[in-house]
Amino acid sequence: MGDRAQRQSSWLRVATRNAPWTLLAAQSAAFVLLSHYSRVMPPAGGKRYLTSTAVFLNEVVKLAISLTMALYDVSKSASPSMPATSLFFQLTNVVFSGDSWKLAVPAALDVLSNSLVYIAVSNLRAATFQVTFQLKFLTTAIFGLMLLKRSIAPHKWGLLLLLVVGVALVQIPDASSEEMTLPDESAHHHFPRSLEEWKAVKEAAGNLYKRSATYEGIEEDMQTAEPHLHTAVGLLAAIGASFASGLAGVNFEKVLKDSTASISMWVRNVQLAIYSVFPALFIGVVFRDGDKIANNGFFQGYNWAVWSTIILQALGGIFSVLYITYAQRDTETLATTISVTLCILGSMWFFALEFTASFFLGSAAVLVASHYYGNPIFSPSPTKAVSNRPPPIRIDSYEKNGGVDEKGSSVTPNDFSIQLPTTPFLSDGVSTSRPTSPAAGHARTSASRQVSASSYFDKDPRDT
């Protein structure tokens, strides 16, 4: 029974250690695949959903989950008789106290990164985006060097250079690319100019809405029915998302290091979500897509894929908290490697991704660079400044815990008696005031023959 319980406890420890990075890798790959599918699938109701509404709902879902977990953390330290309203007000004071305002910058950068991610997955293949988005390692290293004064080892600079080369190889166009298979005229201003051409377009895509007879309206209908991938736009959006994500992560880490208050990660997530809701709502929803939402509604084009994408993106922030709290540091690169690999395999299965030599070499270079860059196992150990430094002194070896001393005599524990070494001065007798001492009858020695106590420890008896 004891061995079985020990095996179960060891299995639970292994599962607890591996669950955070496993969930994070699966969530990252599933989000990229599903978000790309939601942007290229046939739209629901003839309308494609607005990415600004998806980003806003993602922050709302993240805020709801983080707020629930933060209230649970506060309730554990509160008395059972405390009402729910008091818990909420106590959490509110913690959220908006101290340096919480400093998180407005990383929160706004997160919103910008999420918005650019949707643009990138709308114009790049899922595997290409996932490989390109690993440039966040480079941006994080650069901003960490600038803001946190971190030092980067020479071998890490080499890995970052390998990462850039791999991303460049992946971006080399090939004949199997979705954008290259489209006719040249369809990528430019080619519109149906006769009744027969318009009927052909309507037969190919039956979910076209009637618009005014303008080239812009017809082009938008055709783009909605059969979206074209623009590699240049997707690449710029992916690079911008990498910069925003790297700067947001470094800025968030700087706020945590400069903060003197001890605040849980769930409360920090509540702060980030609160400051993220405002730019997502006013800049994205109201300012950018306010006219479209007023005409067609907030939930235009929503279906199961869109809702799943929003929930997966919100869960990504939750899994990141679990990873920071419970996972080991060296599993971050493993999660990234598995995520990129799963995304490539999923693209081959669902989107008929065809491997080319450039894509294979580029993705392999990115996988190697991302795996070895953040793994502390492959980092060289720091050299010792003093090579001839003596070993540390063990105090316990000088304590009397029983046993045998250097002369072979037994030593009893807790014996605090001091035995003075034998000297010629003690052999002649020493005066003492103890009445039962055998030396009481001896005559006192002269003052010239008395030796201080320190001479017994400074002089070796073997020198006499």
- 346 contacts 137 by C-beta, under 8 angstroms: no
Are 336 and 130 in contact by the 8 Å Cβ rule? The answer is no
Query: Buried b vs exposed e over 297-328: b needs ≥16 C-beta within 10 Å?
Result: eebbbbeebbbbbbbbbbbbbbbbbbbeeebe
Nearest to 359 by CA among 66, 110, 132: 132
Confidence of residue 54 (pLDDT cuts 50, 70, 90): very high
Q: What is the pLDDT of residue 243?
A: 96
Q: Within a domain: residue 454? A: no
Report the range of poorest mean pLDDT among 70-74, 123-127, 306-310. 70-74
CA distance 360 to 358: 5
Is position 150 within any domain? yes
More confident residue, 265 or 52: 52
In 3D space, the residue among 356, 128, 143 whose CA is nearest the CA of residue 233 turns out to be: 128
Residue 160 falls within a domain, yes or no?
yes
DSSP-assigned letters across all residues of 324-367: HHHS-GGGHHHHHHHHHHHHHHHHHHHS-----HHHHHHHHHHH
> 200 lies in a domain?
no
Which band of pLDDT confidence, cut at 50, 70 and 90, is reported for residue 3? low
Q: Which residue segment(s) compose the domain that 218 sits in?
A: 11-188+210-378
pLDDT in tens, 228-282: 788 999 999 999 999 999 999 899 889 888 888 778 888 888 999 999 999 999 9
Position 113: which residue type?
Answer: S
DSSP letters for 35-67: HHHHHHSPPBTTBPPPHHHHHHHHHHHHHHHHH
CA 107, CA 245: separation in Å to the nearest integer? 10
Confidence of residue 4 (pLDDT cuts 50, 70, 90): low
How many structural domains does the chain have?
A: 1
Poorest-pLDDT segment among 20-24, 362-366, 405-409, 445-449: 445-449
pLDDT at 13: 61
- The whole-number pLDDT of residue 449 equals 43
CA–CA dist 255, 75 (Å, integer):
26
Q: Is residue 462 part of a domain?
A: no
Q: Is residue 286 part of a domain?
A: yes
